[in-house]
Amino acid sequence: MDLPVMPPVSPMLAKAVDEIPPGMQYEAKWDGFRAIVFRDGEEVEIGSRTAKTLTRYFPELVEAFRTELPERCVLDGEIVIAHDGRLHFEELLERIHPAASRVRTLAERTPASFVAFDLLALGSDALSERPLAERRVALLAALDRARPPVHTAPATTDLDQARSWFSRFEGAGLDGIVAKPLDQSYRPGQRTMFKVKHQRTADCVLAGYREHKSGPVVGSLLLGLYDSAGRLQHVGVSASFPMARRAQLVEELEPLRMTDLTGHPWAAWADEAAQASSRLPGAVSRWTGTKDLSWVPLRPERVCEVAYDHMEGTRFRHTTRFRRWRPDREPAGCTYDQLEEPVSYDLAELLGP
């Protein structure tokens, strides 16, 4: 591979703001795997946000890139799985699997798509130093004839349109809006864009915690909600605490600590057969395979309020933000019924057929 921009490339990032800023280019914030795609003839490489390769996990995209992308190019975009009118991040996670046969089966069953939103190189020209406005024109021209599963991300400079998208697109599983300065060059690894995400709150049952990587202090709180059958489902974590507060939480939660899992609603997860999913406390991490995800069980008697952006299936899509304890709430009242449902939006209207 011999391109004017060579792997690895750390993608340009966005910092969170409360309001959509004026005077920029606006795009939907896609909920998938960020990817830098390099094509040089038959050679294709897909780099992740952390510079690890994603190439082996998406064979259907490698094939599509060889037919739908320019002969020599470097693109920034998002790998997504979309069907039934919305994005499905959980199905992306299933792709990170060591068995090539499993990956091939999933590629046929739930094929991925690539949504391009920036062009870093074309032919023998590096475009990174050019302003976004010029790169956008070049991107549209380069992918003018591209067919699914390759798509070009819709973009607008109309602030009112961006506000409309922010409200409408959430029902299709999109994260929010990204605002990009039109005169800016591509700045790898720097947070020079802006993102506005949906935020809501929920009252959750605290049922355990994981220790921090630095030692015996709280790393993340394990949260649960009761389903319609009265079962406490693990829905996510809350993890952003100052180090002093992490130590305080250990002492604060000590009276709830259980010496074993007997009687805990997640006791079955200790069984080896139940550890097939990395979404459960204690399961092996699908990303690292070695990361310690052991946890400390707590009697599910305390309720906390957390802020979240949106749900993916039955779980919070991202790490939640701890707000406060809710001693006025009973754990049994912490159910899925309290969660706000966004208005449905058919993703096909955004990506096309």
Catalytic residue among 29, 195, 213, 291: 29
The amino acid sitting at 261 is L
29 is catalytic: yes
CA distance 27 to 117: 8
Distance in angstroms (rounded) separating the CA atoms of residues 231 and 266:
9
Q: What angle do CA 268, 233, 197 make, to 5 degrees?
A: 140
In the block, tokens 């060889």 appear at 66
**Cα separation values, 227 from 141, 213, 307, 328, 336, Å:** 49, 31, 20, 21, 6
Helix (H, G, I), strand (E, B) or coil at 109: helix
Tell me how far CA of residue 269 lies from CA of 95, 209, 212, 262, 280, in angstroms. Answer: 23, 14, 21, 11, 7
Rounded to the nearest 10 degrees, how much is the dihedral formed by the CA atoms of 198, 204, 210, 216? 110
Distance, in Å, from the CA atom of 224 to the CA atom of 231, rounded to the nearest integer, reads: 9
The pair of structure tokens assigned to 308 is: 């979240």
Dihedral in degrees, nearest 10, Cα atoms 135, 138, 139, 142: -160
Tell me the catalytic residues: 29
